[in-house]
Amino acid sequence: MLTQEQTNLIQERLRDVEQKLLQNAQTSLQLSMDRATDTGRDSIDQSTSEGMLSTDLRLRDREKKLLGKIRGAMQRVEEGTIDQCEDCAEPIGFKRLLARPVTTLCIHCKESREEQEHRESEEVKEFEETSLEE
């Protein structure tokens, strides 16, 4: 169970990251608008610009997903469940939440999931290798 001070610190960290993401989104929107008005470039400049835009859009998509996780974490703070692992219901721990405030898993459950994902990835690789040999 987190103390009120710990909960406030986690909540403050979530708000800070949320504000930075929203500021990045605003800056990105302005840059996208500026790109749209940039005409008269040669094909290499245009290709470079499109590559940068593609990278920027992927980054914004990741930030959008993180923003959703942040809002979910803020909801869990309000509900008093921010420190509860979604798999085993054991405490996640303040240090882990401080390092990654959007986490929903205790370290044990996270490691278990990663091991399972690794095993599944290895099984897929083995299947693909045997399929290619046939």
DSSP state of 82: T
* 88-132 pLDDT tens trace: 999 999 999 999 999 999 999 999 999 999 999 998 888 887 776
What CATH number did the domain enclosing 102 receive? 1.20.120.910
Residue type, 91: P
* 16-34 pLDDT tens trace: 999 999 988 888 777 666 6
Q: Which domain holds residue 114?
A: 4-133
Residue type, 56: D
What is the total count of domains within the chain? 1
Q: Could you tell me what percent of the chain has a pLDDT over 90?
A: 58
User: pTM for the whole thing?
Assistant: 0.73
Banded model confidence at residue 43, pLDDT cuts 50, 70, 90: confident
Residue type, 107: I
Residue 84 CB: number of other CB atoms within 10 A? 17
